[in-house]
Structure formats: C-alpha cells, structure tokens
Amino acid sequence: MPQLETILLATDGLPASEPASEQAIDLALQVDARLLIVSVVASGSQPSEAANADGGDSNSRDSLATRAQAIVQRARAAGANANYLVWEGEAGEAIVAAADSEAADLIVVGSHGRSGVSRFFIGSVSDFVVRHAHCPVMVVRGKPEAPKR
C-alpha cells in the first residue's frame, strides 16, 4: 500500500460530518500523515436559510473557518499534524481541486446516515468527489437519521 502523506478531510464542520472528522483524525494519527481540513464556501454566497439562531450564516467563510479551526485543535491535541483551508466554489469541484493542489493521497468525506431507499444515494458532493478525484476517496457514513413521523 502506498504511503499516505496527506489526508484531506472535506467537511462543513457540522454535527452530521463528525464521524468523517473522527475517522480522518484517527487515520492521520495511525499512519503519521498530515491532515488538511478543507471547507468550501459557495462562490458569491448570500446569507442562506441555514442561519444560526443569532442571525449569522452557518455556511459563511467565518463560520466554516471557525468550525475547521476547532477540528484542527482537536486533531493537534490528539497529536496530529493538522491545518485547514477554506476554498470558494462549488463544493465537489473545490474539494477535488484542493486535493489536487495539496497533493492529497486520500480524501475523507462524509455522507448522510440515511435509511430506506435514500441509503442508496451517498450525496451529490460525495458522489462528485468519488467520481472525479485523482486519489482514493473514503466515504464515511454519518449517524443514521431518526425516522420521520
């Protein structure tokens, strides 16, 4: 197996992506690889419907950077060499571009923990990354969603 020197974790830092973050940190520690956390803000993004209770946009550059910094701090506290980047653009394209630019040996990305028919779809961003990345991609399934009533 080729040596993993750089692992790129693609995340928005929200709770649903936590399993992917944990897996990426653990793997980086196991193989002594650099962990690069990448979050993507949409080009020319306007405040979205995903606003925080305080009125802030949860997908703004500042919010993404704050959440990425928190993952970096956790990874460093565990002993990993970790840094973060915030890219702008379409999520899938930006993740693939970041992986190419940073010579990533592996991309770790999360998928929604869905049940039923929706479990067959890993998500548009994850699917794009799997299909277009020039390195292996590990898709980490999120925690299952609670059944809707």
* Mean pLDDT in residue range 7-31: 95
Q: How many structural domains does the chain have?
A: 1
CA 134 distance to own-chain centroid: 17
pLDDT at 121 over 50: no
* Mean pLDDT in residue range 18-44: 95
Could you read off the pLDDT of 58-84 as tens digits, one per residue?
678 899 999 999 999 999 999 999 999
- Residue 34 within any structural domain of the chain: yes
Could you read off the pLDDT of 37-59 as tens digits, one per residue?
999 998 865 443 333 434 445 67
pLDDT at 109 over 60: yes
Asked if 94 and 132 touch (Cβ cutoff 8 Å), the reply is: no
* Mean pLDDT in residue range 126-138: 96
- Residue 1 within any structural domain of the chain: no
Element (H, E) at 135: none
Q: Which residues contact 52 (CB under 8 A, 6 or more apart)?
A: 58, 63
What are the backbone angles phi and psi of residue 53, rounded to the nearest 5°? -60, -30
- Residue 41 within any structural domain of the chain: yes
Q: Which residues contact 75 (CB under 8 A, 6 or more apart)?
A: 25, 28, 35, 37, 82
- Residue 71 within any structural domain of the chain: yes
pTM of the model: 0.82
Residue with tokens 């060499």: 81
Residue 81's DSSP bridge partners are: 34
Structural domain span for residue 29:
6-144
